[in-house]
Structure 1
Amino acid sequence: MTQQVKAERVRLNRDRVLLAAVELADTIGIDGLSMRRLAQELHVVPMALYKHVSDKEDLLDGMVEVIIREIDPPQANAEWKTAVRYRVLAARRALQRHAWARQAIESRTKPTTAVLDYQESFAGLFLSGKFSPDLAHHAMHALGGRMWGFTQELFDSSASQPAEAAPQPDPEAQAAMFAQMAQRYPNIVTIATATPHDPDSVVGHGCDDQFEFEFALDVLLDGFDRLHREGWSSAEAKRRRD
């Protein structure tokens, strides 16, 4: 038994820790997940995990990265609407395999490289579809959580909490940050800098909350109106899909 435990410890790495955490969360949820509980699952002492993840927040960041890797890559050579729809539904399939994933994604306060890479590819779908950066910016806001395969529930208790005011960024520091980001995330930077910003926004740092809310509402209402005029029915839509 001792030799088996030692062998397990030798093979431990970050990927194995993250995959084990995902499997454990699938069983007990992330509220029940702890470093101690994960260590028991891997047959190691808790301190052994800290060589691969710094704390539970780092663990959750890594678990979100695992989920992102499960999302099918964008379709090659597809027109923008098909590509966006495919990407959203692929994300939804990934999240449906892990009931805790939405909670983990919504709890992240700082975007990781994997999250930014995903958003970069998503922004690129709109820009490659010849959207103006301004329209792409607002389209991304209108999609909101749908980008990740979920929608925010009405009167979600977490959404009702007032957002903590973020410190005002220094203009020179912000310009330098965008210049650095543009090297890896040109689509994100193109969209983020396309529209004047409100520093007190909660939907996205510097974005106009009321405008984004009304934009998404109008997009949905326009779509409802088009379907109404076309005599749309869910039965017919499902028949065509099948």
Structure 2
Amino acid sequence: MTPTREPLSRDRVLRAALALADAGGTDALTMRRLGQELGVEAMSLYRHVANKDAVLAGIVDLVIGEITLPSTADGWKEAMRSRGATAHQVLMRHPWAPALLMSRTNTGPAMLRYIDFTLGALREAGFSWQLTDYAWNTMDSYIYGFTLRKLSFPIAEADYAEVASAHLHMLAGGQFPYMAEMTRLVGAGNHPGEPDLAFGLDLILDGLERLRG
């Protein structure tokens, strides 16, 4: 008996597109390649998605849908801290996503839910509308930027100490004393050298707390 092929649907198209983007980035995601992955002609895809731009919008929303929205029972700061950490983890699983999030208008249902939760948590905590808007955008700018830096930085975290030691000779002679001191600390294993998401996020949250007061 010939196995029954799973019918094509928008969700199936987007899930396949997400897998392609994760494997090779959005440049590897073409309608032709997507059709091949699904075992159909590319023209068949257009019954479910308008074009590649619609596919990109759809898979960005799938990624945002993976971000768990935390409870606000322990306060707005803990909720925003958890939200930021989870968003970073999700975006690290999908390295192509941060650039798209910052370069396009994303209005899918998961994104709208994500934004509405954030606005609601801040408003219920007593922030004005203006400060809520500033807070939301500042937090997300930091999270997306931090994630992009981590994804694109040319040195792996495990290699920091080795790379620092290898470059220490360039800082001999006292011309760059503070850089030399930091490099020695990293090379000796006394400082990780890798930025910590929580450090910067807590600075933002503490600053927002003062403004809220």
**What's the C-alpha RMSD, in Å, of the aligned pairs?**
2.6
Q: CA deviation at 1:16?
A: 1.0
Match 2:100 to one of 101, 104, 111: 104
Q: CA deviation at 1:128?
A: 1.6
Task: Give 1 or 2 for the bigger CA radius of gyration.
Answer: 2
Q: Deviations over 1:109-130 (max 9, x none)?
A: 3533332221111111111212
SS of the residue corresponding to residue 26 of structure 2 reads coil
Q: CA deviation at 1:143?
A: 2.0
CA distance in 2, matches of 1:110, 1:86: 22
Q: CA deviation at 1:145?
A: 2.5
Identity fraction in percent: 39
Q: CA deviation at 1:108?
A: 1.9
Q: CA deviation at 1:55?
A: 0.4
Q: Deviations over 1:12-70 (max 9, x none)?
A: 11111111111111111101210101111111110111111100110011101110111
CA distance in 1, matches of 2:72, 2:100: 29
User: How do 1:206-225 residues align onto structure 2 when only pairs under 5 Å count?
Assistant: none
- Runs ≥4 residues deviating over 4 A: none
CA distance in 2, matches of 1:128, 1:74: 15
CA distance in 2, matches of 1:26, 1:141: 26
Q: Whose relative contact order is higher, 1 or 2, with alpha carbons under 8 Å and at least 6 apart?
A: 2
* Pairing 1:151–2:151 present: no
Contact kept in structure 1, 2:57 and 2:106, CA below 8 Å? no
User: How do 1:146-185 residues align onto structure 2 when only pairs under 5 Å count?
Assistant: 146=142, 149-151=143-145
Q: CA deviation at 1:104?
A: 2.3
**Equivalent residue number for residue 25 of structure 1:** 21
User: How do 1:178-217 residues align onto structure 2 when only pairs under 5 Å count?
Assistant: none
Structure 1: tracts of 5 or more residues without a match: 155-218, 224-242
Between Structure 1 and Structure 2, the one with more helix by share is 2
Contact kept in structure 2, 1:18 and 1:62, CA below 8 Å? yes
Q: CA deviation at 1:102?
A: 1.0
Match 2:91 to one of 78, 92, 95: 95
CA distance in 2, matches of 1:132, 1:60: 34
**Equivalent residue number for residue 138 of structure 2:** 142
TM-score, structure 2 as length reference: 0.64
Write the letter of the residue equivalent to 2:79: A
Match 2:37 to one of 25, 38, 41: 41
Q: CA deviation at 1:76?
A: 4.4
Range that drifts further, 54-63 or 126-135 = 126-135
Structure 2: tracts of 5 or more residues without a match: 150-202, 208-213
Write the letter of the residue equivalent to 1:150: Y
- Corresponding residue pairs, total: 153
SS of the residue corresponding to residue 151 of structure 1 reads helix
TM-score, structure 1 as length reference: 0.57
Instruction: Quickly say closer, same or farther: Cα 1:92–1:11, change in 2 above 3 A.
Output: same
